[in-house]
Each structure stands twice: as C-alpha cells, then as structure tokens.
C-alpha cells in the first residue's frame, strides 16, 4: 500500500456543515456489509433514474448517440441499468472513504497481475490506464491493497470534499494532483504504478478529436507525454461487479506503441474502451458530458444548456488566480487576467441592484471582443458572480 503522507487541515466553519453532515451519513452507510450496500445502491440508482432529471437526460443522450442500433425501449432500459450501477458506485465510494477496514480480499478477484509483475521486473513501473467505469473507485483502491499505487486526481473546489477525498484515498493509494507531473514521473521511475484515467473532456486546448463510437470526441493527449517522459508501459485496467457480491479487476496486456504519436495513441485508447463497452455498456459513467466539446465552436451542443451558472466561491476564486498566466491590477484589485483559453474581466459593483445590472450590461457590451497577445477573444455569454469580492467575472473565450 502507498505510504501515507501528512493530512491537510480539516476545514472548519458553518458553510461546511452540510458537507460534513452528508459525510457522517455516508460513514454509517459505508459500514454495511458489501452485499447490503449493493442492494441499497441499486435502490438509490432507481431513485436517481426517476428524480435526477438532468443526469438521466445526459445518460440518455450519450447512450442514444453511442448505441443507435438499439431500439428506444432498449436504450431506456440501458439508461436505467446505468443509473443503478452509478448508484452502487457512489455507495462503494462511501464504503472506501468512510467505512471500517474489512477483509477486502473476500470481495475482489484479480486477473492479469502477471502484467504488473513483468513491469516491476523490468524496473519501470507502469501507467495504469483506467476509465470512468461506475466501479472505478473500488477497482483502483483494492488494487492498492496489493501494489504501491499513486492516483492522479483533480482537486475539488470544496475544501471539505477535497479533505475527505484525499484522506479516504490515502487508505489505499497515494493521491497525486494532476498538475504535479514531476511527482507522478518520479513515482513511476521508482518502479511503482500510477493510476490514471484518460477519458475525460478537458477542453479543446488539451485534446485532439478522434472517434469514440464514431463520434469525433475530445481526447486528452497527456498519455503520450507521460509515456515519453517515464518510458513506463501503459497498462489498461478495467473492473466490474460480479453477481452483486464481488469485484473483478482485470489487468490487460500493455498497449503497444504508446508514446510515438498523439493521434494514434488517442485512437488506440478510445478503441480499447469502446470494445470493452460493447460487451458491458451499462458499466460506463454515461451521466457525464463526455461529448461537451465539439470539433468546431459553431457546432451545436449535444446537451441542453445548464439553467444555472456556478458562483465563484472563495476556493474557486483562489484557483482562478493561481491558474492565471497574467494579471492586471488597479488599487490591489484584479481587473483583468489571462487564463490558458480565456480572458477574464472583473466588474465590481455596489449594492444598488438596478444600477448594477445596467452597468454590467454596458460593461459586457464594451468588452464583447478583444485581441490580446496575438489571440482573438470573444464573449459568448459566460458571466460568473463572485459575491465575496463583490464583482462579476466576465469571460472572453479564445477563438
């Protein structure tokens, strides 16, 4: 198991109480026997199917696009099965992060471990290529009871969730923030394994478009870069539930030729996942917007527009400032900054509602488009409220 590092400070304050209350409930659920937890997860998934309208719609859109050969009835049955599997996965996470230690080996079966043994014999460790299957969390965690594994992850904007996630995962693996590339490469070169999922949409800048179920899909190219830097084999892993009683974790043979060509690598990875899902279509996390970035900015989105926009919390504000490539300030307040794919203007306001709205509209009209550092930016409607700084963030996107 991975070496435990020092814990971060547990966030305190009234605004985190709802999160801690939810986690307290999850800690009780996480103590149930695994077979009970699976049954409860199925019930939770059925409730999600009926009442989590936005997520059910997203899953329906994804499944309709990827499995057009199925009838409408078959597609909806697959959506329901997928939401049930997703519900089980959420309660499995509660068991892993908050539950008591148990005989993990009684609920897991490993296949293909010889590929990990071979990689360690060669002294190069391995990049464990995972996918967002509904059993992702439990599969990688239980593999961490057998081998030293680092897990790349995306930081959460909510410090309470970040604290619980890191602390929970440290029971099985060593969490590594996804931006800590040097730490990850060092981990691999010490003949250990890094657990890494390559099937998320991180936007146009970090991706290329290659087919996934015959749909041009934004596919990240980081796998190629990691393989080149570490010289480690890229070893796919999958996991699935068997009879609601145990988890089957399969380590597949290393992919050949990874690291030579970004496009071919992306095609190879997508083809591997597509072939797996052709056999186990309900296992994928279809509730995520896998196809949110389209090849052309003028292409229509597959998904309905979100009705609400996320406010800029203090944590998100901090992340934005840390990610800025350049910041302009007046009187020690940021008024403009550049992100990798966006320009952001800060519109500060007073408490007069009508005047604020009129001034904001005029401000946006003034900053509809701009050329900056040889790049063209256009405002496409993205505005975020940052209440604690009494401002709106007005985004211009690179075109």
- First-to-final CA distance of the chain: 46
What confidence category does residue 202 fall into, taking pLDDT thresholds of 50, 70 and 90? confident
SS3 225: helix
Q: Is position 376 within any domain?
A: yes
pLDDT of residue 297: 78
Q: What is the DSSP string of 345-361?
A: EEEE--S-HHHHHHHHH
319-365 pLDDT per residue, tens: 899 889 999 999 999 999 999 889 999 999 876 555 577 888 899 99
Q: Are residues 38 and 89 in the same domain?
A: yes
CA dist list (Å): 119 to 179, 228, 267: 25, 16, 24
Q: What is the DSSP string of 31-90?
A: TS-HHHHHHHHHHHHHHHHHH-HHHHHHHHHHHHHH-TTS-HHHHHHHHHHHHHHHHHHH
Last residue of a domain, one of 260, 283, 306: 283
pLDDT of residue 3: 40
Reported pTM:
0.79
Q: Are residues 341 and 267 in the same domain?
A: no
Q: Are residues 235 and 384 in the same domain?
A: no
Q: How many domains does the chain have?
A: 2
159-191 pLDDT per residue, tens: 888 899 999 999 999 999 888 888 999 999 999
Last residue of a domain, one of 240, 263, 283: 283
pLDDT at 24 over 50: yes
**CATH number, domain containing residue 89:** 3.40.1130
pLDDT of residue 4: 40
Expressed as residue numbers, the domain containing 269 is 14-283
pLDDT at 112 over 90: yes
Tokens in use for 114?
A: 């010889």
pLDDT of residue 351: 60
Mean pLDDT of 199-208: 85
């Amino acid at each position: 198991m991975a070496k435990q590092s020092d814990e971060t400070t547990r966030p305190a304050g009234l605004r985190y109480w709802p999160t801690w209350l939810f986690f307290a409930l999850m800690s009780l659920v996480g103590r149930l026997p695994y077979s009970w937890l699976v049954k409860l997860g199925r019930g939770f998934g059925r409730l999600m199917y009926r009442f989590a309208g936005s997520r059910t719609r997203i899953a329906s859109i994804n499944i309709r696009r990827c499995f057009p050969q199925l009838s409408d009835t078959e597609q909806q049955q697959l959506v329901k099965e997928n939401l049930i599997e997703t519900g089980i996965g959420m309660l499995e996470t509660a068991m892993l992060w908050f539950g008591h230690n148990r005989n993990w080996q009684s609920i897991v079966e490993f296949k293909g471990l010889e590929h990990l043994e071979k990689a360690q014999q060669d002294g190069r460790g391995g990049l464990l290529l995972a996918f967002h299957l509904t059993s992702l969390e439990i599969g990688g965690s239980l593999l961490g009871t057998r081998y030293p594994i680092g897990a790349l992850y995306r930081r959460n904007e909510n410090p309470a969730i970040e604290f619980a996630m890191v602390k929970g995962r440290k029971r099985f693996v060593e969490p590594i923030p996804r931006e800590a590339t040097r730490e990850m490469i060092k981990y691999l070169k010490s003949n250990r394994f890094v657990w890494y999922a390559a099937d998320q949409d991180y936007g146009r800048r970090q991706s290329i478009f290659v087919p996934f179920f015959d749909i041009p899909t934004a596919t990240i190219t980081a796998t190629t870069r990691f393989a080149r830097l570490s010289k480690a084999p890229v070893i796919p892993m999958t996991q699935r539930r068997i009879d609601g009683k145990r988890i089957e974790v399969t380590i597949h043979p290393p992919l050949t030729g990874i690291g030579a060509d970004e496009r071919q690598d992306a095609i190879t990875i997508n083809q591997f996942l597509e072939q797996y899902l052709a056999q186990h279509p309900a296992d994928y996390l279809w509730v995520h917007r896998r196809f949110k970035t389209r090849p052309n900015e003028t292409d229509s989105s597959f998904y309905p527009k979100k009705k609400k926009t996320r406010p800029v919390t203090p944590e998100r504000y901090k992340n934005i400032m840390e990610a800025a490539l350049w910041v302009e300030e007046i009187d020690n307040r940021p008024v403009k900054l550049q992100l990798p794919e966006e320009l952001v203007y800060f519109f500060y306001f007073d408490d007069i509602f009508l005047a604020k709205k009129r001034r904001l509209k005029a401000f946006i009209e003034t900053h509809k488009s701009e050329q900056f550092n040889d790049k063209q930016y256009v405002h496409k409607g993205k505005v975020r409220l940052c209440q604690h700084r009494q401002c709106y963030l007005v985004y211009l996107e690179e075109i």
